[in-house]
Amino acid sequence: MKLLKLSLRNRIFISMILLVLGASILIAGVTVFQYKKESENYHRERLERKEQAIRENIKFVLASTTHVVNTENMPVILKERGKIYEISQVHEMQLNIYDLNGKLLIKSSESFFRDTTNVQIPSYILKELEASRNKRYLKRSEVNGQKFQSSYTYITDNKFKPLAILYLPYLQDDQMLRKDLNEFLFKLGEVYLFMLLIAITMSYFLSKYIIKSLNIISEKIVQTRLDKRNQKIEIENASEEIYALVSAYNSMIDELEESAVKLATGEREQAWREMAKQVAHEIKNPLTPMRLSVQSFQRNFDPNDPDIRKKVEEYSNTLIYQIDTMSTIASAFSNFAKMPAQQNEILNVPKIVKLALDIFNEDYILFTSEKEEILAKFDRTQLIRVVTNLVKNATQALEDVENPRILVRVEEEETDVCISVSDNGIGITEENKERVFEPKFTTKSSGMGLGLAMVKNLVETYGGSITFTSKRNKGTIFTVRFPK
């Protein structure tokens, strides 16, 4: 459980170290096991070769003797001219000869091998020897830490008739092999110590590299807020998994910003609608009494005063002008607060757009359409309001501009109608681009900043969209799209 609580960096570091240590221990274990196996095979095959050579020598002695070859004469034949001692010295092996019942007949002289045999072969060995397919029995034993392989096999005459039992005690001398093994393990230890150092270095930098990317992602996630603009993560030379995590985070940021914009826009528009309704109500309430009071005052005024009429007229005109101004403000707020009723009708969009442009007298306003007839469902009045507001904004952006120019273009796409209004005016600054469609936002000294907000509201009501591109001191293009 404590390992699970470690940091990812420490877990990567420990895992790399354990991997190298585990590999070194495993290879060392396999090496020792393989050494023991090969050592056993080496001694077993060496014993078989010596046994085969000794048997061939004994057969040669039996073939060249003048005595009758039988079990009883085996001691005499092998002692003749010291043959058994000669064979023992040549092959550096002690050998014992037993009769078929396991009783000792003769043995070679003492050698450097320790004699661990008895004068009688155990009965179970005789049974195993007789039952074996190759008429051979191998016994393994250990005396004082030294390993022996004892071989029992038959000595036969030229007709393969068993005459006696040959016993060979073989000492497994592993001193040289053990020395080679120790040298190999020592070199292997040096190699793995070097690999361990490399693994420590690599794990340190690898864990640092991985954690660096994860720390960047972690910091960005911690800093993520709904009420502010969040930055995307940009990481170079990262792994595929880190890229997938970064992509998921960036996608989440896009969705979060989109949701935040929609939420903020909805809240602002709802607040402005409520405010607009309230302002309209509060302003319109006193308008009628004010007008009636002024008119009554005019009717009841004493005309005998030579100057009074002029005073009343001035007063009345001023008051009525202020009342009309208040009424205009109330109407503007009321129009913004009120969602437009969709009175859909089939319109020839180029014709209606051209009709909306007739109210403008500026000769620098140009109109073009790729077709004379592009039909779409839209409310005639609302479409005119959209066009006039966009063109009015464009004309206001052309103040103090030499050779002003406005181009209104209507195009037909697959399922949409596109209306674009472009000008060569002063453009929109970077800090204002995000606020263009906000209600009550304006860069002009006059006006209430409801035009573009109303246009956006109208277009989105009909399932369309409005976008713009702008370059400072080069101009702006507003593009409206709505379904046909």
Residue 364 sits in a domain whose CATH number is: 3.30.565.10
Residue 350, domain member (yes or no): yes
In this prediction, residues 174-180 reach a mean pLDDT of 67
- Identify which has the larger pLDDT, 116 or 361: 361
In this prediction, residues 77-81 reach a mean pLDDT of 81
Across 208-222, 235-249, 279-293, 409-423, the highest mean pLDDT is recorded for 409-423
pLDDT for the residue numbered 168: 85
Q: What is the CA radius of gyration of the chain?
A: 56
Among 40-54, 132-146, 303-317, the least confident range: 303-317
Residues 154 and 7 in one domain: yes
Q: Do the Cβ atoms of 165 and 154 come closer than 8 Å?
A: yes
pLDDT for the residue numbered 205: 77
Residues 109 and 93 in one domain: yes
pLDDT for the residue numbered 112: 43
End-to-end CA separation in angstroms for the chain: 64
User: Which pLDDT band holds residue 410 (cuts at 50, 70, 90)?
Assistant: very high
Residue 154 CA to residue 165 CA, distance in Å, equals 5
Residues 378 and 262 in one domain: no
Q: How many domains does the chain have?
A: 3
Residues 259 and 279 in one domain: yes
For residue 174, the surrounding DSSP H or E stretch is none
Backbone angles phi, psi at 374, to 5 degrees: -130, 110
Residues 67 and 29 in one domain: yes
For residue 355, the surrounding DSSP H or E stretch is helix 349-357
Q: Which residues of 472-483 are buried (b: 16+ CB within 10 A; e: fewer)?
A: eeebbbbbbbbe
pLDDT for the residue numbered 409: 94
Distance of CA 56 to the CA centre of its chain: 73
Cα angle: 47, vertex 52, 55; to 5 degrees: 120
Domain boundary among 142, 162, 178: 178
Domain boundary among 296, 320, 337: 337
User: Which pLDDT band holds residue 446 (cuts at 50, 70, 90)?
Assistant: very low
Residues 97 and 21 in one domain: yes
Residues 371 and 472 in one domain: yes
Residues 293 and 383 in one domain: no
Q: What count of other Cβ atoms lies within 10 Å of the Cβ of residue 455?
A: 22
Among 70-84, 99-113, 305-319, the least confident range: 305-319
Residues 166 and 302 in one domain: no
Burial of 275 (0-12, 13-18, 19+ CB in 10 A): middle
Q: Is the dihedral of CA 60, 66, 71, 75 positive or negative?
A: negative
Residues 37 and 165 in one domain: yes
Residue 189, domain member (yes or no): no
Q: Do the Cβ atoms of 133 and 115 come closer than 8 Å?
A: no
Q: Assess whether pLDDT exceeds 90 at residue 370.
A: no
Residues 365 and 298 in one domain: no
What is the β-pairing status of strands 365-369 and 406-412?
A: parallel
**Domain range holding 368?**
345-483
Percentage of the chain with pLDDT > 90? 7
Burial of 360 (0-12, 13-18, 19+ CB in 10 A): middle
Report helix, strand or coil for 72.
coil
Across 100-104, 105-109, 247-251, 325-329, the highest mean pLDDT is recorded for 100-104
